[in-house]
Amino acid sequence: MAEPRNRYSAVSLTLHWIIALAVVAQILLIMAHDATEGALSREFTQTHKAVGVTILVLTLARLVWRLAHPLIALPSGTPTWERILSRGTQFLFYAVLLIMPLTGWLASSAAGRDISWFGLFQWPLLPIGGGREAAGQFMDVHEIVAKLLYVLIFLHVAGALKHQFINRDNVLHRMIPLIPRRP
């Protein structure tokens, strides 16, 4: 019988960490947008949109990869409630990482506001109307889902730290290659 995998693939790791860094960048960009005015604020918004589109594409790639490469099993002895919480958090992360950029894209499309991908090309707007009112409704959903994202980030980090420092079961080693495996 083959030994179960105990590390994620290089592709999984790369997609995870690029998306994680992009999410942190999104949070910082929106904070910078809120703290500034005028042209600088608009530049932060444009960069936020470009990073959002990037997150959408990378999340779709990650989902395709994930479907072809099943999750690594949780450590034996993991309580059922933790298994449910872990898998539920992962599922919700995928949902949020799709819903957030989609609602941003829908809002820009409804308002007819261009999405420039880092000045290299224009991301196509969706063929919807509705103007500012529809855009505002999409942004309301975008902001609500952002709050869920903060909760998921907390749960994800707290779970990783629990596994590393309380359970001491090498779960964090699977995602951070620099952390040595415990015997």
What pTM did the predictor assign? 0.92
**Residue range of the domain that includes 133:** 10-174
The closest of 183, 179, 174 to 4, measured between CA atoms, is 174
For 103, the 3-state DSSP assignment is: helix
How deeply is 97 buried, as exposed, middle or buried, from its count of CB atoms within 10 A (0-12, 13-18, 19+)?
buried
CA atoms 81, 83, 84, 85: torsion sign: positive
In a domain, 159, yes or no: yes
The radius of gyration of the chain's CA atoms, rounded to the nearest angstrom, is 19
The tally of domains found in the chain comes to 1
**Would you mind telling me the total number of residues written for the chain in this entry?**
183
72: Cα separation from own chain's centroid = 19
3-state class of 99 per DSSP? helix
**Domain-embedded: residue 157:** yes
Mean pLDDT in each 10-residue stretch from start to end of the chain (183 residues)?
Answer: 68 96 98 97 98 98 94 88 94 98 98 97 96 97 98 95 89 84 76
- The rounded distance, in Å, linking the Cα atoms of 136 and 11 is 36
Domain assignment of residue 24, yes or no: yes
- 182 in a structural domain: no
Whether 2 maps to a domain, the answer reads no
Strand partners, 123: 115
For residue 70, the model assigns a pLDDT of: 85
Asked if residue 4 is part of any domain, the answer here is no
Q: Is residue 179 part of a domain?
A: no
In a domain, 71, yes or no: yes
Query: φ and ψ at 5, to 5 degrees?
Result: -65, 140
pLDDT at site 92 = 98
